[in-house]
Amino acid sequence: MTTIGFIRHGITAWNKEGREQGRLDIPLHQEGILAAQQLAQRLATEQWDAIFTSPLARALQTAEIIAQQYGNMPLRIDERLCEIATGLIEGTTEQERIAKWGVHWRNLELSIEPEQEIITRCQSFLDDVKRNFPTERILLVSHGDLLQRLFQLLGYSLPRVHNTSLTIIEQTKSENKLLLFNCMEY
């Protein structure tokens, strides 16, 4: 059985401002660094075999902080774990989107990554992990919207997770078991 610990990156200044980050490479806020350090200390008391991360700075920084607690734990950067590309809305707040495109902006074609592309890359990642790490405990550091899609593919419709939260799902041949959701106890 493969166990995956899903972690949303630490908080950024843009998270605090309510700005859409998408694929823009925004670093962690000092508060996000501190929370990642606290989560790393908590995880250091548990057995984990590898860390996979998005290459975007906010996720990579979070993963590096966690990996430091384990010494030689492999840190694997995987493009499939990047946040969803949100096109023209990247860098904007909800108020700015409404001012620019109106209250129905979600109905417009704004160069947002197509849902099928998101699902395809998420499924590809999950299939690779299950095939190549059938008995390991894997940490995965990514982004809020992408984590939602991963959870859906594993059969869970879960609320959005908080920054630096931990969700654990155990994959067996016959089922996926949710062991922990949105935990922020450091």
Alpha-carbon distance of 107 to 149, in angstroms, equals 20
58 annotated ligand-binding residue: yes
132 annotated ligand-binding residue: no
15 annotated ligand-binding residue: yes
11 annotated ligand-binding residue: yes
Pick the closest to residue 128 from 148, 153, 145, 155 (CA basis). Answer: 153
- Residue 9 bears catalytic tag: yes
Catalytic residue among 20, 83, 90, 143: 83
Where are any strands of DSSP class E within 34-175?
50-53, 75-77, 137-142, 166-171
- Residue 136 bears catalytic tag: no
Catalytic residue among 9, 20, 29, 143: 9
As separate numbers, helices (DSSP H) first and strands (DSSP E) second, the chain gives 6, 6
101 annotated ligand-binding residue: no
Among positive and negative, which fits the CA dihedral 118, 159, 41, 48?
negative
Amino acid at position 160, single letter: R
Which residues are catalytically annotated? 9, 83
Annotated binding site for substrate: 8-15, 58
Annotated binding site: 8-15, 58
